[in-house]
Structure formats: C-alpha cells, structure tokens
Chain A
C-alpha cells in the first residue's frame, strides 16, 4: 500500500533559523512528488513538483529535493510569513491523477 509520512509533525523556529522538513514515501512507480503550503482556513497552494531522484526546485526561501525514498523541503532563513502547514503528496504512474497526501508539517516561525 502507498504510504507518505511527513516529519516532524510540528516545527517551531526562530526567524532566521533554517531547517528541513522530511517527506518519506513508499510507492511503486512514482510519477511525481508535489509540495503544497496550506494556511489556516485556506486550501493547499501549490509549491513544487519533483519527478526524478536528484532533482531540486527553489522558490524564494524554499528548496525541495528528491531521492528515491524521500523528499526534503529546506527553509532557509525563514520569516514569520513562512508559518503554515506544508504538505507533500505523491502521484503514481499507474494510478491516473490520484494524489496521496502525507499528514503535513505545521511550521511556526516566531519573530
């Protein structure tokens, strides 16, 4: 069965304190791994798609990387506005357009 596990569940950071979020996955035939950001009371907002091991994507203070078993979302010098829940999801080659989500990491950045 496909599994996506995110750790830690929650992360408290001081402004400027860099850290990494982990997304471990067990899926046969990965088509893509997606990262989303979700603010309270809002829907998930797309950040990145990664397709193959070794791939990296960057956006402002966020950088996502992918290996054959896990993905990392690195937050460099975070600001309070980076506070959100970060979700990862995997899509299989044989499962059409279905996304399987992890439980998310709640990030709080204190000024």
Chain B
C-alpha cells in the first residue's frame, strides 16, 4: 500500500488555467505538507497543516490555496497558472511536526 499518494503524477496545462493536485496519506499522521522542487532540485516548503489547521504558509502567492478536508488529505489548488509555476510538487506527512517526513512521488506540473 502506498503511504503518501499524489494524483495526478503529470499535469500539462496552459497559462491562465486553474488546476488541483490531490494528496492522501494512509499512515495515520497528523501533519501534512506541500513542497515545491524547482529545476535546480531545491525543495522548498510551501504549506504545512496539522489536524486540518494551517501551520506554515511560506510567502506563497495567494494563487495557491491548500485545502485539508480531513487529516488524511491535503489538496493544492492553483489559480491562473504562470510559467514559473512549472516544477515538481511533493506532498509529505509526519506523525507530528518533529518526526521524519514521508514524501509522495511528486506531481510534475508543466505550463505551456
């Protein structure tokens, strides 16, 4: 069973569109995260949720809106996509804010 799963794996779309990425974890963890990995492979945190409550919001444009319907799910909605949004987006989870984070396999977003 996949611990942290993201859909879709690939997302190709045009500038200006709105898209969503879904994430689910079956580890029973309380904390979930979204990271962005750019072309230079740097991983940067975007958001962190603990039990559906937003904990970290790292100066991300407000076109990005996370939604946590329950503690096993954390979705990412992106409005008005821009070329600079092209990247790999990773979802992760941890038991609490200080335990190791477990990552999904990423969603590769390409903006045409």
Contacts and interface: CB of A to CB of B under 8 A. Distances in A.
Q: Is the interface of A mostly helix, strand, loop or mixed?
A: strand
A43 B31 CA distance: 17
A31 interface: yes
9 contacts: A34-B100, A43-B103, A44-B43, A44-B103, A85-B41, A87-B43, A96-B48, A96-B97, A99-B45
Interface of A: 31-32, 34, 36, 41-46, 49, 85, 87, 89, 91, 96-101, 103-104
Interface string B87-112: 00010101011101111111000000
A97 B105 CA distance: 21
B55 interface: yes
Nearest to A97: B97
A98 B33 CA distance: 9
Contacts of B97: 96-97
B31 A101 contact: no
A43 B106 contact: yes
B104 A96 contact: no
Nearest to B41: A104
Given A42-B105, A43-B106, A97-B94, A49 B56 contact: no
